[in-house]
Amino acid sequence: MHKTRSPLTKTDERTDGWTADEGQIQSKFEFTNLKCDALDKQFCGFEYCYLKSINRTYKYMSVKVNLYKLPVTKFSIRIQGLKRSNGYVPITSEITLDGCKLMSNESFNPFGSYLQGFLMSHTNINHSCPFNHHIILEKLPVDIVNYKMTKIMPFPKGNYILNTTWIAYGIDRAIVTIYGTLS
């Protein structure tokens, strides 16, 4: 009698205790585009906003936003995820998170915490308000996004967009849109 094996086997703690058997097909996330738009040029401007591919295995995202009216004591982020299926359709409700509470860990929002996990080690907005400096996301590697989208909260294969609108004092100030493919 043929015995089937589980696609997951127990391993050491370095891989969170589980890994796929050799020969199993693995999902992989890739950045495909990044767009940044300052809506209020009196308030902020993008110094840079790009994806960079160093080689076939190391790709990253970098964004620097210069803030012209400091300090920022109140901001929020409106987020919506979309998946391509006869056009792009929402896969999440549009969520607005209080950025100051999220960064100070005063507000528990599972989706916000999930997104915060992508950024914390690669950004300078990893503290509570006020922000007296420019906003930098430096060299966020695709590997972190890949891990979050395939291991922590697996998503189905497809093309995705993450729309983020950055709001300060109740006014939309900037939009950052991240495009990617999970194959």
The domains found in the chain, sorted by start residue, are 27-182 (2.70.220.10)
User: What is the spatial distance between Cα 164 and Cα 37, in angstroms, rounded to a whole number?
Assistant: 11
pTM listed for this prediction: 0.80
Query: What single-letter amino acid sits at 53?
Result: S
* pLDDT higher than 60, residue 22: no
**125: closest CA among 96, 97, 100?**
100
User: What is the spatial distance between Cα 41 and Cα 65, in angstroms, rounded to a whole number?
Assistant: 11
The answer to whether 129 and 74 are in contact (CB under 8 A) is yes
Taking 3-state DSSP, the helix, strand and coil percentages for the chain, each rounded to the nearest 5, stand at 15, 45, 35
Q: Which of 32-36, 98-102, 175-179 is least confident?
A: 98-102
Q: How confident is the model at residue 5 (pLDDT cuts 50, 70, 90)?
A: very low
Strand partners of residue 48? 64
Work out the percent of the chain whose per-residue pLDDT is above 70. 84
Q: Which of 75-79, 108-112, 144-148 is least confident?
A: 108-112
Could you check whether the bond before residue 154 is cis, i.e. omega within 30 degrees of 0?
no
For residue 169 the two structure tokens come to: 């004092």
For residue 62 the two structure tokens come to: 């970098």
**180: closest CA among 20, 39, 34?**
34
The 10s digit of each residue's pLDDT in 28-62 is 889 999 999 999 999 999 999 999 999 887 899 99
